[in-house]
Structure formats: C-alpha cells, structure tokens
Structure 1
Amino acid sequence: MFRTSRYWPFCFTGGGLHWQAVSNRLLSLFVIWVASWFMVTRKLAEYNVSQSEKQYRSLIEEMQDPVLIYINEHLRFGNQAAAKAFGYESTDNLIDADMLSHVHPEDHVIIERRQAAIAQGKTLPSEDIRYLKRNGGTFHANAYGFNTTFESKPARIAVLRDVTDRKKAEEKLQQLSDNLENLVEDRTRELQESESKYRDLVETSHDLIWRLDEQGRFTYVNPAWESTFGYTPKEMIGRLVTDFKSPLEIARTKEDYKKILVGERVTDFETTYLTKQGQELTLNLNTTPIHGREGNFVGVQGNAQNVTARILADAELNLFHEVIKNMAGGVTLVRAEDSTIFFTNPTYDEMFGYEPGQMLGKNSMDLVASGGDKTAEQSAEEIVKGLSEQGWWRGEVYNLKKDGTRFWTTAYVSEMEQPKFGKVWLTVQHDITEQKQIMEQLRQSQKMEALGTLAGGIAHDFNNVLTPIIGYTEMLMDSPDQGEDRELLEPIINNALRAKELVSQILLFSRPGQTTKQLSDLRPLVQELVKFTHSTIPSSVTVSDVVSVESAVVLCDVSQIHQVLVNLCINAGHAITGIGEIRIRLDVVELEDFSDSVGNTHSGNHVRISVIDDGEGIDEETLTHIFEPFYSTKGVGEGSGLGLSTVFGIVQDHGGGIAVSSEPGKGTTFEIFLPLAKTPIKQLPATPEKLQKGGSEHILFVDDEDTITSLGRRALERLGYQVTVASDGQAALDVFSENPKIFDMLVTDQTMPRLTGNLLTHEVMKISPNLPVMLCSGHNTIVTPENSRSMGIRRFMYKPYGPKALGQSVREVLDEAEEAKR
C-alpha cells in the first residue's frame, strides 16, 4: 500500500498531512517505527477493551433488571436476571435467539418500530412490552435500548424493568374504574327506579308513614293516614302531632315525645291517636331523626302500624289463657295425627301428677288405663270412633297417673282444625274419683241395705217359724211324762238354736252404716264364721279354723268385722275351682315395722286374722291395684259383697292394717291386723237359773202367727195367767177398747197386718197410759231396744223365744209396773 519511490507520500507535521520527500533509509526506519507504533497501540487498545468488557459484564451480571445484548438481531448476551425473567436456569438457553422470539406476537410491531427508529439514530423513551416465558406465560417489562459495541462489534443493548405487578394493578384499577363507572350508572338508574318504586310503596303502603319538623308539625303523611283516621293529608300537614291525641294520652306520652323531638331514635313505641270520628286507635311507632347538611336536627320521620286489633286479640288471648289456666278442669290439646300432647293447663298437670311441661310430647292414649268393663285399648278406640263419626266424644275415662295411681275423670273431647298442628283434639277433664267413691259407697250401701232388707225379711219369717219349734220343744222337754223321748227332743232344740244363731248372723247385714265399737273377743266370731261360710260357698270347699289364743279382744264393730271376713271368705271360695280348702287362722303377733301391711298398723301386739286359700292366686300387676276403688278383675255383674277397697276402709277405720301375699297357682293369704285391747272384757258372774214364777194377771197376747199365739197362750196359762189372744193389731185394739180395765199387760208382735205393734201401743196408751207393754219381733227397723222406751214400751224381746224366756220377761215387766205405782 505504500509507494517505493524515494519520497514518502505524506507525513504528519503540525497536525497536518503533507507530502514530504525523504531518503530511502530514513523512510525504511520510519516505516518500521510506524508499524511498531500501530501494533503497540492496537494491542494496548485490545487490552483496554478486554478489561472494560470484563468490568462491563460484571456490572451487568449484578444488575437486578434483565439486560439483553443483541448483535445482528440475535441475542449474544443476557444476565442472570434475564434468564430468571424468561424462566430459564441460565442464559445459555437464550443465546442466539432471534430478537422477536421472546416477544409477544402482538408486540412485534413495537420492537420493529423501535429498531427502525434506533437505526436512524433517534432516541426513544422506554415502552411497556409483553415478553414470553419459557412455560408459555407472559410478563410485562418496561424496555429501553441504545446502540453500543460488544465484542468489538456494533450491538444493541436492551434493559428490561419487570412491571407485571404494576400492569396488573393498573388493569385492576382500570377494571375497578370501569366497574365503578358502571356501578354509578347502574345505581343512578336504580335510584331513579327506586325513587319511583319507593314512592309507590310509600303511597300504597298500609303502614302509616310520616314526617315531622323540629316543632312536631306534620310535613308529610301517606294516604294510609286518611284511610285509617279519616283526615286528608291537607288536613294534617302543618298541624301538631298532639292535635290528634287525647289529653290523657298526651300526658302519658309526654316524655316519649320529648325524646322523639330532640332526635332520639324510638322503636316499638305504642301510643293512641284519635280518628276524625273520635275513636281511639293504638299505633306502634318507629322513628328516625332527620338531619340537615350541616348535621343539625331538622325533623323526624317514621312509620307506624295500627295494632288496635292485635292489642284486642292479645287481650282476648290473655283472657282465654288465664281462663284456661285457672279452670277447675284439666285442659289438654292433642295432635290427632299421632295423639301427641302439645298443651296442658296446670290443673291437668296436677291431676296426672306431673310437673309443668313434663307431659308435652307424650302420647295421650298412654294415659288411659284399663278399668270398669273396658280395657285401655277399648276406651281409646271408643274415643277415636266418636271423634271420627261426630267430631266429639263425652264419657268417663279411667286414667293413669305418673306414679301409677288410677283415677276416674269425666271427659269431653272435641275435634277442630288448627293451622300449625292440623287436626287437634281439645279435651276437658274433671276428676270424679271422689264422686265415684261416694257413688260406689252409696251403691254398696244400697246393696247392703237391700241385702239387709232381704235378710231382715228372711230373719223375721224364719224367727216366726223357729219360735213355736223352740217353744213347744222346751215345753215337751219340761213335761214330766216324756220318758225316753227326751233324747229325740234334744237334737230338735239344738238344731233350732243353731238356726237361731245363723239368723243372728244374717241380721248383721240388716244394719249397714251402724257403727258401734265395743270390746269384743273375736274367737266366737271366727268360730261362727266357719259355720256361716259353709252355707255360702260350694260344698267341695272345706272351711276350717285355727284358733291358737285364749283371748283375742279388740275394740271393734263386730258386724263390720264379720262383713269383712265374710267377704274375704267368699272371694277365697271364688278363687278355688273344684276341691279346695279355706283356713281361718286367729292368733296374736307383735309388730315392730311391718312394711308389708297397708293401713294404720303401729308397733305393738295385734290380733291377726288370716284367711288362707289354695286357689288360683293373684298376679303381681293385680296385687299392686287390689285395694284401689273400682278396681276389679271380675266382669260386669260378677262382683258380690264388699269391694276390697271397702274392706281396706273398714280395717283402716279400726286402726288396723291389711296385707296380702299371693302367687299364681299357689293360693292367696289375706292378713288383717287389729290392735289388741289392753283392757280385758269383764266377765259377769253366772246368774243361777231362776225358778219359773207365774201370776194371775190378765194378759192380752197379740201375734199374726196362730202357732205363736197358741204357744203364748199355753206357756202363760201354765204359769197361772189369764190370756186373751188376738191375730192382728186392729183386732187387739177392738178387744181392748171394749173393756180396757180387765187387762193388766199387753204382749204384742211388731209386724202385723192392719195395725203394727208400735201403733197399737200408741192407741192403747191413749186409753190406758200406765198399761205395761212388751213388744216382740223377729226383725224390724222401726222399733229397737234403744227407742222402745220412748214409745211407752217397757220391754223389747227378740224372737225366737221359748216359754221360760217369755214367762220370765212377763213377770219382770209386771213387777216393774207394780213397783212404779208405789
């Protein structure tokens, strides 16, 4: 490239380029120097560039922002931040990549536009560009670039600032802004619609809506005020709220309105307003204060409901509730679908022995017990049938208390529809247990009275039959010429006397309700009971007594104890089918704590009477109810005698107790405990038989039985008396009236046709007031030994009697009358 002539084509002098002629030698030296200088200078430059690039690379590597260097549109360098931004572990995967390969296709145009501008030497501000990650995702970066030299080549450097989060925030902000604009538009539209809608709601609402100013004057009322109170809005606007209230109500609510008119919120405030016609209506108010733009109180707005009807309904409901709560009868409401109880009043809870609320949810049919002639199931079916057929049922129900006690009620059940519970049964019940007991006692009393009347009639007739048998037999036995026939007469008199005892036992039933307690030895009673029971139970049942004490004295009414034992023996006989045995045991035991006894038993000595049978026994369920009133295992009409509840009542009335033990198939034992008397019965000394003493007095003897008048005549005439007989009371009165002075005494029967003994006595006393009278009777309920004296009767004598008893009584009466004259 250099010329080889003797002249150097150019040289530098003074900073200019001049052609200079030099010698060849000098020229050679100069050329060598220049070449060396250029070599040294280039090496030095290369070194400096190498050192600068190293520092440059180190600086770029430490940068947190991605840096990319492109040569000829291909990536030649990227720092670690760039590798991380694009999702690579190192930049090796990025080298030689085309500049657009990592740019979002939609942003290629941005890169191309910027490349063209840079190529023209223009300086551009940074721009946001979307780049592609390795995983297909994108990130936003703010990119700026410029030209540079890299690896001694022209290059372009790009520095990226990740603005993904900012872009997301901007996008979200923009979205929120858009949403807000849409919301504002929607709310504006809704408010416009709402204003129209709520205006319609307010105007058409049945609630009373209003506004007051700070002075308490109406500034707005909706049309409901006019329809409720009769005032038009024009008539109310501008008037004080107190103009529509009574003076008493203004005084009552003065403090509340002060709160309202100072801006306090008031809720559920009840007050009354006057209609245009003067009627007082109750409103329930809710108020809210109204404030101006500066927060100052400017008035009140609120709404109200006319609760007059509700107040009246609540008052009526409370009244009904109090009525039901305080009803004497038990009231319950039952859901018909499943018989579940959902309401009871206090009387019903108390009636069944439950605490308030305990019966709710129970099945009402579980409270029905078996009793009378129906099982619990039959009673429940009858109630349900009545409700289904006619919508109501009335009758008596046997019920079960919480503690298992059974009791009777009258029940009225009606069916009705209820919105919440559907078909509902309303039941009203009254406890009639006491009434039933009284009725049962009355029934028993009437039963015993009827039995007593029957027994009295039988006893009367039977004693009239026995009187001549005993009388004539005694007369035959006293006859001196009877000889060997006396042995034949003794069985007659013995059996007649036994029959007399049986009649005496029968007569115990003729005195129901008469309670006379006295010290009595129960040994004879038990022995007589064995004889009496033989005639009341089948002959296949043996009755025996075991008396293991010498004294069994108690304070008692013998007739009642006799009735109790007869009842237990009859029950024992019914429990035996076929051949069996009843044992009546009498002993004395000392009780300390006899918890098995029911009644009033206390510690101490007691007479125990046991009635033991080997019958079919009693199951455990029946034993728990055996002494309850009205409880029976027998069918209708099968009962007889006293119920066991009455037996228990009699024993309890005597201060005693009763116990029962039984097992099905093994018989039953009833034990009665009566307190042993501490005072023994005073034994009267035996009275020697008096010699039969007669007389010569004239006796009027009256009886409607010919055999008895014949016996009386014979017995008295044998004693020396004069005897006039009459067959009835009227005939006797006629005889006596004809010649009263000839008679010294009247002996009369009580029960006779035409004129009874007491009436005959009354008529005779009118004629002859001091005439001694003796009245005889087989049985009657009019004249008794206790009241006979008040009728003028000196002696009362029971039939049957014999000649000796008759003669002795006549003599004693005559002697007493004679003694009275002195």
Structure 2
Amino acid sequence: MSTDPSETPERALVEQLQRRLRREQAARATLEERIRTVVADHKRLETELVRYRDHFESLVSNRTAELMRTNEHLMRENRERRLAERARRAFEDQYREASLMLETMLDAIPDIIGVQDGNHRIIRFNKAGYQFFNMDETEVIGKRCYELIDQGAPCDHCVTRRILETNEPAQLEKYIDTRGIWMDIRAYPILDMDGRLFRIVEHWRDITDLKRSEMSLMESEEKYRTLVENANEAIFIFQDGRFVFSNRRAREMARRLGLQALRKPLHRLIHPPDKAHDDDYYALRLNGRDPKPAALSFRLVDADDELIWVELNTVNITWQQRPATLNFLRDITQSKLLERRFQEAQRMDSLGTLAGGIAHDFNNLLMGIQGNASLMWLEVEDNPSLTEKLKNIEDCVDSGSRLTKQLLGFARGGKYVVKPMDMNQVLRHSAEMFGRTRKAIKVHGNYQSNLWTVMADRSQIEQVLVNLYLNAWQAMQGTGNLYLSTNNVVLEEAFVAPFEVPPGRYVRVNVTDTGAGMDELTQRRIFEPFFTTHEPGRGTGLGLASVFGIIKNHSGIITVQSRPGMGTTFELFLPASDQAPGSDALSLQSVETGSETILLVDDEDYIIDVARLMLEGLGYRLLVADHGRTAIDLFTEHQASIDLVVLDMVMPDLDGEAVFKALRAINPDIKVLFASGYYLMDQADELLRQGHTDFLQKPFNMHQLSVKIRRMLGGSEGEGREAQAAKRV
C-alpha cells in the first residue's frame, strides 16, 4: 500500500500548528482592532467631554447672566445644569468602564503586551509581561526593553527602530539566551491625532515549542534525505514523462546507461527479448497507468552495450499536488549471476550422479572383459594369432576405460592419489608438453611466485589442463595465443555460496585463448556430458564435462567468461593447503604372486568368476561372497585365516562401507582392498584414512591387481601368512 508523504505524522503536526497560529493571529488581529477602537473611542470621549465642558460653561455663564437679568429663568437653568452634570458623569463612567475592560482584556492575554516610547523606555506591560520578567510595575516602568533581557544595546533588526524609521508594523523572531526560549516579537505604531508616532505597542509570543517542532521536522527531513541519498537502490520520481527527483544511485545508473548522452527514455533501453508484447508497457508503468504492484525483472543495455539485470518496483503517489510514480530500480545482475550458477551447479550435480552410475556399470562390464582377457593370456602365449586378438581386446577395454574415467571425472568421485603439489610446476610441465605438439600456438605464462600449495591428484589436474588446452586449440583453429596465469586469492562468502564450497584461500589458474569465443547459451551447456559444438565423430563431449567434475571433486570452482569473437577465459579455483609439495612415487611394473587367503566380495557373478580365476591364477586361496551379509558370515567363521578382503563398494543389500565397518568391528587390523567402477570420493576417502586400506579402480588387469595386493600384504611372492606373522612378532 502506498504512503503519501504529505500524510505523515510530522506533516499533520505542522499543519495543526499552522492552523492554530492562523487562529491566534486572527484573534490577535481582532483584539488589536478592538484596542484601536477603544483608544479611538477614548479620544473621542475626551474630545466630546471637552466640548461638553465648554458648552456647559457657556450654558452656566449664559444662565448666570440670565439669572442676573431675570429670576424667572433660575429654576430652568438649574435643571439644565443638573442634566448636563449627569451627562458628564455618564461619559466619565463609560470611559472608566472602557479602560477597565481594556485592562482586563490585556491582562487576560497570555502573550506579553507592552507599550514603550521612541527611546525604548517601557511605559507599561500587561500582567503576562510583569510575570515573565518577574517584576512589578514600579521596577519595569522607565527601563529600556533590551535591558530586561540583559542586553546592553537594542537587538539586531530591532522592531522599535524599524517602526521609528518606517512608521510601519515590524516583526522579529528572537532567541533569548538567558531564558533559553524563542520569542516572536511584533510591534505596532500608535499615532496621535496629527499622525505623529508617540507610542509603540509590542506583542511577544513564546514560539519555543513551534521552533522545536520545526527543527524536529527539519531533522526528520534531513534523515529521510540522507536515507534516500545513500540507498543502494536507484530511487526516482517520474511525472509527466520526465524525472522530477532522483537519488545518488539513480544518477549513477543514469550515467552508466547514458540516458542524457543517448537522449533515450528509460524504457527504450530495455533488452528487446525482455520487452512486453506492448512496446509502451514500461512507459505506461512509469507514468502510473499500470495498476499491478508486482516487481518487474528485465535487462537494460548500458552505454557500452553491456546487459544489466534490474528489478523495478513502481508505486503511484502524489507529487506537488499532481499524480506521479515513485520508482525503485535495483541492480540484480550479481544476484542473477549467482542464481544461474546455483542452478547450473544443481543440474551438474544431478548429471554427475547419473554419470557415476553409468560409469560404475560400464566399468563392471569392462572388468569382465579385461579379467577374461587377462586369464586367456595365461593360456595362449604360444599362439600369435590369438595373442593379437587379445591385444586388440585389451586396447578396446583401455579405450573404454579412458572414456569411463572422463565420466568418473565428471561424477562425484575420481580423486585417486591426492598429494600436495605446486600448480606452477604442473602448469609449466603441461604447457611445455602441449607446446611441443601444437607449435602454432604461442603459450604465454605469468605465474605468481610463492604460490600456495594445493591438494590434488596430479594426473587428473593434468587431464583438466590438457582438455582446456585442446579446447583452446580447437577454438583458435590451430593458431593463436594461449595465456596461462596463477595467483593466490581469498574468496568471500558471497562469491563461493552458489558453488557450495567454503570461503577462504584458493589458488586461481587462468587459461585464456584468443579463439572464436562463445555465446551465452553455449556457455551454459559446455560442461554437460556429451554436449559438443563439433561435427559428429569429432568429439565425445566429455572433455569439459570431466574438467568440471574433477574440479568439483577437488572442492574447487570453475567459471567461464567468453563473448563471440573475443576469446574465452576459464578460471579454476583450487583450495590452498599448508603442506609442502610432494613427488609421485613410481609404480611397480612386475606381476607378483602370493599364497595368502583372500575374501572376495562382489554382487556381480561375472566379476566373481573373473576375479576368482585371476586371484587363483596368482596363487591365492579364495573365499567368495556374493553379497554383504554372506561376507560378514564368512569372515566371522574364517577370520583367523583371512589375510585380505577385496570388497566391492557398491552392492544392493549392504554397501561396501557397511560391510567394512562390520568387518572392522570383528577385527580392527583386517586389510581391505576396495574395488569399484565408481569412486565415491567422500565415502572412500573417509574409509581410506582409517588405515590398512587401499582402492583399485575397475577395470583392472592382473598386473594392477597383483601389485596392489602385494603392496597391502607387504611381502614378496610366496611369502605366506606365517612369515608375515613372524615379522609382526
């Protein structure tokens, strides 16, 4: 509901005081008129009295002469004399009554009424005057008016002086320091019969409360003005097709939009796709002819052709007794950006969950193929034709594995070997390798010294960088400039909120190309799996999707900034670490066998069949469970003989985490090798931190399986449980 500023309590109070002042002014004018009337009557009576007295004396003289001339007229003359005396007394009584009435009226007035001569000397006051100065008549009469308020000279703009100069009424508002009050002083001249000034009447009224009200009103207006001027929203009043009021933020936005330079009305700067069906709709709203109070969100095009998201609220008001609209225009560009980022993050999380499930099932299938191929190698070493076919099968499995790794990179998982590392070193190494293969691309590096360390999987971060380099190379059509930079940054809560990561220290990596750039629609979809702008057969659409997933899985942020024809910049933000950079350990290359007892837990029959043959082929004794409950029962029964558990992470009844906790409750020192086609990062990291655990990504071959097992069991080929027990002792 709109609020008319003219109806505020302060305004109502001012109007009430003004009405009261006008009534009192009217009453004072009436009183002053009556005073003048009484004074005039008094003068008239005096004149009449003189005339009657002269007449009476003439009559007396005439009558006396007549008495002397004749006795017969004596009685009549005496009677006429008595009548004349009675009339004189009647006139005197009327004069005294008028004087008393005037005195009573003056004393009844609460304001100070005083009479003084032209030398500022007081002749008399009414009762209010004596009370105000706390003096009686004898103490006041003869004093100068300014002496009564402890001054040595007349006031500045003295009303008495002005009357002496102009013979016209004068008015002054005077603050009396000694009393701490404001007085409204008005003076009026008293003229004699010849029009000469011989007295001055002064009327003093206490206006302290009125002054305080005025000052309160001024303070209120000043607060309102300060509030409006410093508001973060652009506030303006629109009336008769023009801006009649605007605050500081509105003026800044007007300059940004170039309203004065472009000489366009505001509604003409609206981005065309955001306009209503009626081209004049926004103009009607600004002019108060749209009754809907809801806020409108749309984009404006500024003087630099940049888009600004704004929200407009319009309220119909009355401004200077005419209809107008009060408008609140808020820049919501940053809010819209955060909203879009949040929606994109939610969509990518959903796609990541889907991608993880697909990768898990696909890796299990590849595990079956790879496992059988590994077993076949043991039987066909002397058959060249079959070994070639097996090699082709493993190449296909390897290709499929790389594809699922990209899916896993996009999914919620995929960090395998996380270590502290120096992003400057990784960037230099990856840029050098890329530059050797793409010599037409000039790589420019700007790396901050003393760069903070990050905790990351080096191979995956290198995969991210290579994908970004290749994307830039394709955007630049094989030739151009690639700019790489790093620096330390501290991100605030407002920036990181849409990405669901904590604020704090981050390492920023910028990858900028001089390619064709992208429009806004393409930018919104580039991280989606299988989305590509290339022709069919020239890309899987998983490169940038895996980039997004890997950075997300590292609790990082990735953003893109691009415009058609202006190139593209990818910004990576990785959480900083206080640990010193480390180095990657070398992997063992030989296939190792053993004789220990292993409990294999998996819910897929073909995985069990393949893993059984692989483990038994490596010399291990095997116990098999096809679901979690069976695994717990078997381990409870054979825990004394089980050296290692190979445990699938994703199972229908009890998942790997639940089975692991149950086994650890039975034997806290049991060694567990998690094997899964889908690495659940948060879940697996927590399990791996508990010790005596490791992770093996499906699909794996016999070499990878054997090396992982020997690492965990901590012995060479043929070293059994008894030897390890002796070592522990």
TM norm structure 2: 0.57
Q: CA deviation at 1:813?
A: 0.7
Report Cα offsets for 1:745-783 as digits up to 9, x if no partner: 111011112222122222111111111111112223355
In the alignment, what sits opposite 1:263?
161
User: Which residue among 470, 477, 482 is the counterpart of 1:583?
Assistant: 477
Q: CA deviation at 1:324?
A: 2.2
Q: CA deviation at 1:257?
A: 8.3
Greater mean alpha carbon deviation, residues 503-512 or residues 300-309: 300-309
**Counterpart check, 1:641 vs 2:527:** yes
User: Aligned to 1:445, what secondary structure does the other structure show?
Assistant: helix
In the alignment, what sits opposite 2:600?
701
In the alignment, what sits opposite 2:634?
735
User: Aligned to 1:737, what secondary structure does the other structure show?
Assistant: helix
Looking at structure 2, the residues matched to 441 and 251 of structure 1 have their Cα atoms a distance apart, in angstroms, of 78
User: Which residue among 212, 219, 224 is the counterpart of 1:320?
Assistant: 224
Report Cα offsets for 1:188-243 as digits up to 9, x if no partner: xxxxxxxxxxxxxx99974854999xxxxx98999xxxxxxxx9666226516657
In the alignment, what sits opposite 2:49?
none
Amino acid at match of 1:472: N
User: Which residue among 383, 400, 404 is the counterpart of 1:503?
Assistant: 404
Question: CA, structure 1 residues 586+451, in 2 after alignment: closer, same or farther (shift >3 Å)?
Answer: farther
Check whether the contact 1:467–1:800 (CA below 8 A) recurs between aligned residues. yes
1:346-361 matched pairs, under 5 angstroms: 346-351=248-253
In the alignment, what sits opposite 1:141?
none
Query: Where does structure 2 lack aligned partners over 5 or more consecutive residues?
Result: 1-21, 40-103, 114-124, 135-145, 164-168, 448-457, 486-509, 532-544, 573-580, 716-720
Check whether the contact 1:271–1:282 (CA below 8 A) recurs between aligned residues. yes
1:137-536 matched pairs, under 5 angstroms: 206=26, 208-209=28-29, 235-236=108-109, 239=126, 242=129, 260=158, 262-264=160-162, 269-270=172-173, 287=187, 298-300=199-201, 316-335=220-239, 337-338=240-241, 340-351=242-253, 363-366=265-268, 368-369=270-271, 374-375=274-275, 381=281, 384=284, 388-401=289-302, 405-419=306-320, 422-480=322-380, 482-510=383-411, 518=423, 519-520=426-427, 521-522=429-430
In the alignment, what sits opposite 2:88?
none
Report Cα offsets for 1:63-106 as digits up to 9, x if no partner: xxxxxxxxxxxxxxxxxxxxxxxxxxxxxxxxxxxxxxxxxxxx
Q: CA deviation at 1:416?
A: 2.3
Amino acid at match of 1:324: V
Check whether the contact 2:363–2:401 (CA below 8 A) recurs between aligned residues. yes
Report Cα offsets for 1:404-437 as digits up to 9, x if no partner: 54433333211223345x3311112333333333
Check whether the contact 2:171–2:187 (CA below 8 A) recurs between aligned residues. no
User: Aligned to 2:714, what secondary structure does the other structure show?
Assistant: helix
Looking at structure 2, the residues matched to 760 and 711 of structure 1 have their Cα atoms a distance apart, in angstroms, of 22
Q: CA deviation at 1:795?
A: 1.2
Check whether the contact 2:271–2:301 (CA below 8 A) recurs between aligned residues. yes
Looking at structure 2, the residues matched to 342 and 359 of structure 1 have their Cα atoms a distance apart, in angstroms, of 18
Check whether the contact 2:441–2:478 (CA below 8 A) recurs between aligned residues. no
In the alignment, what sits opposite 1:189?
none
User: Aligned to 1:457, what secondary structure does the other structure show?
Assistant: helix
Looking at structure 1, the residues matched to 469 and 186 of structure 2 have their Cα atoms a distance apart, in angstroms, of 81
Looking at structure 1, the residues matched to 224 and 323 of structure 2 have their Cα atoms a distance apart, in angstroms, of 20
Question: CA, structure 1 residues 483+261, in 2 after alignment: closer, same or farther (shift >3 Å)?
Answer: closer
Check whether the contact 2:442–2:482 (CA below 8 A) recurs between aligned residues. no
Normalized per residue, which structure has more strand? 1
Check whether the contact 1:415–1:426 (CA below 8 A) recurs between aligned residues. yes
Question: CA, structure 1 residues 220+772, in 2 after alignment: closer, same or farther (shift >3 Å)?
Answer: farther
Looking at structure 2, the residues matched to 272 and 507 of structure 1 have their Cα atoms a distance apart, in angstroms, of 84
User: Aligned to 1:454, what secondary structure does the other structure show?
Assistant: helix
Report Cα offsets for 1:593-632 as digits up to 9, x if no partner: xxxxxxxxxxxxx9875655xxxx98xxxxxxx7xxxxx3
Check whether the contact 1:211–1:300 (CA below 8 A) recurs between aligned residues. no
Question: CA, structure 1 residues 488+563, in 2 after alignment: closer, same or farther (shift >3 Å)?
Answer: closer
User: Which residue among 792, 806, 810 is the counterpart of 2:705?
Assistant: 806
Looking at structure 1, the residues matched to 215 and 105 of structure 2 have their Cα atoms a distance apart, in angstroms, of 26
Q: CA deviation at 1:483?
A: 4.0
If asked which structure has higher relative contact order (CA below 8 Å, sep 6+), I would say: 2
Report Cα offsets for 1:453-502 as digits up to 9, x if no partner: 22222221221111111222232234235441222222221121111112
Amino acid at match of 1:424: A
Q: CA deviation at 1:251?
A: 13
1:631-780 matched pairs, under 5 angstroms: 632=520, 639=525, 641=527, 662=565, 670=568, 689-690=589-590, 692-780=591-679
Q: CA deviation at 1:658?
A: 7.9
User: Aligned to 1:331, what secondary structure does the other structure show?
Assistant: strand
Looking at structure 2, the residues matched to 252 and 709 of structure 1 have their Cα atoms a distance apart, in angstroms, of 115
Question: CA, structure 1 residues 239+343, in 2 after alignment: closer, same or farther (shift >3 Å)?
Answer: same
User: Aligned to 1:425, what secondary structure does the other structure show?
Assistant: strand
Question: CA, structure 1 residues 736+682, in 2 after alignment: closer, same or farther (shift >3 Å)?
Answer: closer
Normalized per residue, which structure has more helix? 2
Looking at structure 1, the residues matched to 245 and 678 of structure 2 have their Cα atoms a distance apart, in angstroms, of 60
Looking at structure 2, the residues matched to 482 and 428 of structure 1 have their Cα atoms a distance apart, in angstroms, of 83
Looking at structure 2, the residues matched to 313 and 550 of structure 1 have their Cα atoms a distance apart, in angstroms, of 69
Q: CA deviation at 1:303?
A: 11
Looking at structure 2, the residues matched to 796 and 711 of structure 1 have their Cα atoms a distance apart, in angstroms, of 18
Check whether the contact 1:393–1:414 (CA below 8 A) recurs between aligned residues. no
Q: CA deviation at 1:523?
A: 6.8
Aligned length: 519
Looking at structure 1, the residues matched to 512 and 662 of structure 2 have their Cα atoms a distance apart, in angstroms, of 52
* Bigger Rg over Cα: 1
In the alignment, what sits opposite 1:110?
none
Looking at structure 2, the residues matched to 718 and 763 of structure 1 have their Cα atoms a distance apart, in angstroms, of 29
User: Aligned to 2:224, what secondary structure does the other structure show?
Assistant: helix
User: Aligned to 2:295, what secondary structure does the other structure show?
Assistant: strand
Q: CA deviation at 1:722?
A: 0.8
Check whether the contact 1:391–1:415 (CA below 8 A) recurs between aligned residues. no
Question: CA, structure 1 residues 661+320, in 2 after alignment: closer, same or farther (shift >3 Å)?
Answer: closer
Report Cα offsets for 1:663-691 as digits up to 9, x if no partner: xxxxx8658899xxxxxx9998987731x
Amino acid at match of 2:395: N
In the alignment, what sits opposite 1:107?
none
RMSD between superposed Cα atoms in Å: 5.7
Amino acid at match of 2:234: G
User: Aligned to 2:640, what secondary structure does the other structure show?
Assistant: helix
Check whether the contact 1:705–1:727 (CA below 8 A) recurs between aligned residues. yes
Question: CA, structure 1 residues 704+434, in 2 after alignment: closer, same or farther (shift >3 Å)?
Answer: same
Report Cα offsets for 1:430-453 as digits up to 9, x if no partner: 333333332222222222222222
User: Aligned to 2:652, what secondary structure does the other structure show?
Assistant: coil
Query: Where does structure 1 lack aligned partners over 5 or more consecutive residues?
Result: 1-201, 213-217, 223-230, 274-279, 528-544, 573-581, 592-605, 619-625, 627-631, 663-667, 675-680
Q: CA deviation at 1:341?
A: 1.5
Question: CA, structure 1 residues 465+432, in 2 after alignment: closer, same or farther (shift >3 Å)?
Answer: same
Overall identity of the aligned pairs, in %: 20
Check whether the contact 1:587–1:607 (CA below 8 A) recurs between aligned residues. no
TM norm structure 1: 0.51
Looking at structure 2, the residues matched to 391 and 735 of structure 1 have their Cα atoms a distance apart, in angstroms, of 72
1:26-105 matched pairs, under 5 angstroms: none
Question: CA, structure 1 residues 785+246, in 2 after alignment: closer, same or farther (shift >3 Å)?
Answer: farther
Looking at structure 1, the residues matched to 672 and 231 of structure 2 have their Cα atoms a distance apart, in angstroms, of 63
